[in-house]
Structure 1
């Protein structure tokens, strides 16, 4: 596979107008002459968890995840293309434990880039890959904590590169942080050079390494407002395209006995979402980006995450472990809204990852019993 990808890179370079792209060599961030270690390495202890279904209960074993040290470096006369930072001699800077040799070049390395070269006066931070500017989870958890590293190093960028189209939540977050005048929205097909590129370790490497410094940073930025009374939240995904709760009306009837508040997060401001999660004692939600907001929960908030059988992604279980939040996974039945849809199969590499969820009443009762056990 690696050899095949290398051949693709060679073909791309031969056909491309830009013979310097993609770069042929790499350098690890910590090997740069100006590299500084900012945060120490640590372990994340994930306790046992439970995944329940209508006919079984599975114990997810405890584990220990290694979170590497965080580094930052300055690169005079550096550049960036599609989230990849380059040294003046055209070396790609590796910012995570995932090496270029192990995983091949990022997909955008095989895309042609335009002839548009831009120069930015001052220092520039590139906060990420393509999906990070359009997906709430990746922006909040993967992109923003770059600024925690630079803040600790006392380096302030003059410019911040954000990729792809503008997203309302991105604009709102940067405006809240007072950084909206520094943002440059760009595409993967443009090259940005700067007097100085600032580069730092990729936070949350390989989904599920929620470093303490990243989680602390988010709370400092958004400053959740604590209320005197706790609430119980059910996150309604009926307005989204995928992973909706098909028998939601039935579930809401069961939840009504426990005074749950039903919320559509897309109708709330970022700060309103932060405050809701911060003041919750129990949260029930289908798997989705909205659960990123558990980053703002107070310790011991109980998280009940709903799944379809084909897609059980336990990244929020790991985040809950970092934040000392009890977590329960609930496995319902999966059902495609348009099982034979050609469009759906084109849009999603694996359509089963986006199946809607059906929960039997007995399963909901078991989850509620777990949430309110004495």
Structure 2
């Protein structure tokens, strides 16, 4: 039986205004039947509603937490194995979130941990699964948090949150991350950065995109090739970002400079999660979409395969990109 809460804090709900913006497309005959042309699409603004998040501390067992991991063997193991007693530390069980996707970590688990630290201090042990990714372990180590790798249930003082989905903390990124310090912080990274990708969701004409961005003073990064501490530093310090849509954008929850973000998309997979993050940290956003291929409309609109092109490479039109740079008032160096 769980006890009454020992401590609690409430992060109030928020309505975040997301400004109207634009999307610039690859030249297409959808714009002009006789000659392909760029479509400049006006995107209306909206209010991003986020409910309040209550974080509580109470004595109890992680068996009281609903296990949505989907791993049947882990569930059986925890049911048949005696819980582990942990004393002298507060317990944050992070085994219910995908620790292989850094966007899930940055928008769900990390803000919850930072909020919990404001409530109970640094004496927190984060529980991760026995085969947790090295990425997850590195993140918690950077945050100076003790780790416990186990698939057993835990008895102790639990830290629980009323909301546990990604982006629950959109309205609190600036407050929670404002004074974040971590080992390896680099204060001298570029103001203009180009975040590209290798493999899935890469740019077919990356060298062409990189060449034009260099004339504007951008430096290219592959976040998969640099340590997490450097990823955090780059995202924190950047004033202008051009980036291929992907999990690397989630680092912008750390941004301190009201970032201007130009997000590059495959035309069959345009989503608003990082538009929301840019707005949440006081920044601005616009989009550039790549070349439409003959299967996009058939798969996306008629077969309703929303993620069909989520990992597909695309080709970006340089004139569309320059229109986006001009729209956000970004000048060449």
Per the shorter chain, which TM-score range?
A: 0.7 to 0.9
Q: Structure 2: which 5+ runs fail to align?
A: 27-37, 295-304
Aligned to 1:183, which of 142, 147, 150? 147
Q: Which residue of 1 aligns with 2:253?
A: 295
Aligned residues: 303
| Cα shift readout 1:135-181 (whole Å, capped 9, x = no counterpart) | 111112210111233223226655321236333332222222222xx
Q: TM-score, normalised by structure 1?
A: 0.71
| Cα RMSD after superposing both structures | 3.2
Spell out the pairing of 1:122-133 with structure 2 (5 A cutoff). 122=87, 123-131=90-98, 133=99
Instruction: Give secondary structure in 1 for the equivalent of 2:309.
Output: helix
Residues 184-211 of structure 1: per-residue CA shift (max 9 Å, x gap): 224xxx44031332212335x4547512
In the superposition, relative to structure 1, how do residues 315 and 125 fare at CA in structure 2: closer, same or farther (>3 Å)? same
Q: Where has structure 1 moved over 6 Å in runs of 4 or more? A: none
Q: Give, in whole Å, the separation in 1 of the partners of 2:236 and 2:166.
A: 26
Counterpart contact for 2:107–2:168, Cα < 8 Å: no
Q: Return the match for 1:67 from 23, 37, 50.
A: 50
- Alpha-carbon contact 2:50-2:168 (below 8 Å) kept: no
**Secondary structure of the residue that 1:211 maps to in structure 2?**
helix
Which residue matches 1:237?
Answer: 197
1:108 is aligned to 2:70: yes
More divergent stretch after superposition (151-160 vs 168-177) = 151-160
- In structure 2, the residue corresponding to 1:356 is in which secondary structure? coil
SS at match of 2:256: coil
* 8 Å contact kept, 2:111–2:169: no
The reply on whether 1:77 has 2:86 as its aligned counterpart is no
Cα distance in 2 for residues equivalent to 1:286 and 1:166: 27
Aligned to 2:15: 43
Instruction: Say whether the 8 Å CA contact 2:107–2:167 is kept in structure 1.
Output: no
> Post-superposition shift, 1:288?
0.5
Tell me, what secondary structure is at the counterpart of 1:113? Answer: helix
Which residue in 1 is equivalent to 2:133? 167
Structure 2 CA distance, aligned partners of 1:218 and 1:145? 8
Is the 8 Å Cα contact of residues 258 and 278 (structure 2) preserved in structure 1? Answer: no
- Alpha-carbon distance change, 121 to 206 in structure 1, aligned in 2, over 3 angstroms: closer
1:144 matched to which residue of 2? 110
Alignment partner of 1:198 is 2:198: no
Deviations 1:306-351 (A, max 9, x none): 1112211111101111111111111112679xxxxxxxxxxx9944
User: Normalised by the size of structure 2, how large is the TM-score?
Assistant: 0.78
In structure 2, do the counterparts of structure 1 residues 65 and 301 end up closer, same or farther at CA, with 3 Å as the change threshold?
A: closer
Deviation at 1:53, TM superposition (A): 0.7
Q: Structure 1: any 5+ residue segments left out of the alignment?
A: 1-28, 87-91, 93-104, 337-347
- Do the aligned residues in 1 keep the contact of 2:237 with 2:257 (CA within 8 Å)? no
